[in-house]
Structure 1
């Protein structure tokens, strides 16, 4: 439990730091947009390339883990889309707000997951989480880009728009680059690895600072249906899907723990950046991320203890 809290508490403190900096006016709105783009298009891809490129996927139950994770994502996608008409009819949740609910329900905070896996499982945990990176990041980004294209714009996307949104997504091509280096064994020089490590080390703090900057704390005192539903789906229902599919497929030991970590972490900080890029409800996304991180400090220890 201490390992989980040690990974989550710093995230909360960095969110708070971003909120304070924004409220003090040290950085203006346009400057925040530039920082967000640096994190989204440069820093996050660096850590993904480095992690995926260095993992020995043959030494771990990659297929079984991937199957459990992918099935969980599809189950949550189907459930959340099925709830969309109810959320709109009963609570007036429009397209952009629903797109943030969807991101909050389906995405995962890779960096929190890696920190917890390293704390609980050591180096093997980081390698196991690399399987989740490969299995989940491209799929989740494709699904969320499609949902944002549909609901944030208020109209069904054309094939050209979908292709353009996917081509622009750096998390998809960075995973592909990491896999290409891994499979081909391309011998990158030491300075290349060092560059990726330096850039990647800045991804988490800068991304989370941006989340804090866009936060309206007043709304957390009165969480509405959009905020509440995204939190319940992500922190209660998604771990249940992960548990069921991992058990059915026969994932066990540290690999099972890694699946449960990936399923129980809050949503991804870059979901806020994607909402900004594609016209989703970014303030709601920031609120979802913060509330989920707060609640996850309680739910994650319970999920991992029950799974054990």
Structure 2
């Protein structure tokens, strides 16, 4: 129990520090966007490449873990779609609002997941989360784009555009590059390894500070059925799906913990941008992200403790 809380508390405190800095106005909104881009396009790829290159994937149940994550995503997608008629008839949830509920229920914050995996599981945890990146990000992007196009009347990009966006995603291409170097078996030159290490060491703290800066605590004053539904599905139901499928596939130890981490973190921050671009309910998406991040401080420790 102490190990779980000792791993989570530093991450939560850094998130809080980012929110305090943002509220003090020491860094402006545009400046935060620049910091986020540095973390997303430079620091996190460096961390992932170095970790994947040094990982012995024969010792990791990558296939079983990927299957558990993918099955969990499909199960949550089916449940959310099944709830759509009820949400519309009972609470008047229109298409754009439902698309934000769907994003809130299915997507994951990779920054938070990697930080917690690193604190709780060390280098092996980051390697396992790299497996989750490959298994989850392409699938979640495609599913959520299709749902937004159907329910938010957004204009869906073509298959070529989706493939290009996925190829340009730094978390995906850095994992792919790391895998290629790992398979080739040629060790990184010392200067390259040291460079990646320096950049990677900055990735998690900067990424988590940016998560805190993006929180809009004023949104918590406007709770409602849509906000509650997305929060319960993501923080309570999704970890259960992950746990059940992980058990079904025989996962345990670090792999089981990695699945629970990936399933129990809040939704992705860029879901707000996607909602705004494709006609979803962006203000609701901001509320969902804030509520989930705040409550995850309670639900994530419970999920990890119950899983073990």
TM-score, length basis structure 1? 0.81
C-alpha distance 112-40 of structure 1, shift in aligned 2 (>3 A): closer
CA distance change for structure 1 residues 212 and 150 in 2, over 3 Å: closer, same or farther? farther
Q: Which residue does the alignment assign to 2:241?
A: 241
Task: Measure, in 2, the Cα distance between the counterparts of 1:306 and 1:173.
Answer: 34
Counterpart residue number, 1:182: 182
Structure 1 residues 126 and 81, CA gap change in structure 2 (3 angstroms) = same
| Counterpart residue number, 2:24 | 24
Looking at structure 1, the residues matched to 277 and 192 of structure 2 have their Cα atoms a distance apart, in angstroms, of 29
Matches within 5 A, 1:80-159: 80-84=80-84, 86-87=86-87, 90-91=90-91, 97-121=97-121, 124-144=124-144, 146-147=146-147, 154-159=154-159
Partner of 1:75: 75
Separation in 2, partners of 1:153, 1:46:
37
Q: What residue in structure 2 maps to residue 305 of structure 1?
A: 305
Tell me how far apart the structure 1 counterparts of residues 170 and 146 of structure 2 sit (CA, whole Å). Answer: 15
Task: Between 53-62 and 231-240, report the one with greater CA deviation.
Answer: 53-62
Q: How far did residue 168 of structure 1 move?
A: 3.5
CA drift of 1:184 comes to 1.8
Provide the secondary structure at the position in 1 that maps to 2:230: helix
Equivalences, count: 308
Q: Give, in angstroms, the shift of residue 96 of structure 1.
A: 5.7
Q: CA RMSD in A?
A: 3.3
Which ranges of structure 2 fall in alignment gaps of 5 or more residues? none
The Cα offsets for residues 28-73 of structure 1, whole Å up to 9 and x where unpaired, read as 3332332232232222322222222222111122222221121112
Secondary structure in structure 2 of the residue aligned to 1:230: helix
Cα deviation code 1:213-249 (max 9, x no counterpart) = 3332122133233332222111111111112212222
Task: Single out whichever of 77-86 and 240-249 deviates more from structure 2.
Answer: 77-86
- The residue that corresponds to 1:194 in the other structure is 194
More off after superposition, 198-207 vs 149-158: 149-158
Contact kept? 2:14, 2:205, Cα under 8 Å: yes
Q: Which residue of 2 aligns with 1:250?
A: 250
Contact 2:39/2:206, CA 8 A, preserved across alignment = yes
- 1:232 corresponds in structure 2 to 232
Deviations 1:136-161 (A, max 9, x none): 34433444455556666723333344
Query: Matches of 2:298 and 2:198 in 1, distance apart?
Result: 32
Q: Partner of 1:156: helix, strand, or coil?
A: coil
In structure 1, the gaps of 5 or more residues are none
> Which residue does 2:12 correspond to in 1?
12
- Go from structure 1 to structure 2 and tell me whether the alpha carbon gap of 1:17 and 1:302 turns closer, same or farther (over 3 Å shift): closer
SS at match of 1:154: coil
2:220 is aligned to 220
Distance 1:39 1:283 in 2: 25
**Are the structure 2 counterparts of residues 280 and 169 from structure 1 closer, same or farther at C-alpha, using a change threshold of 3 Å?**
farther
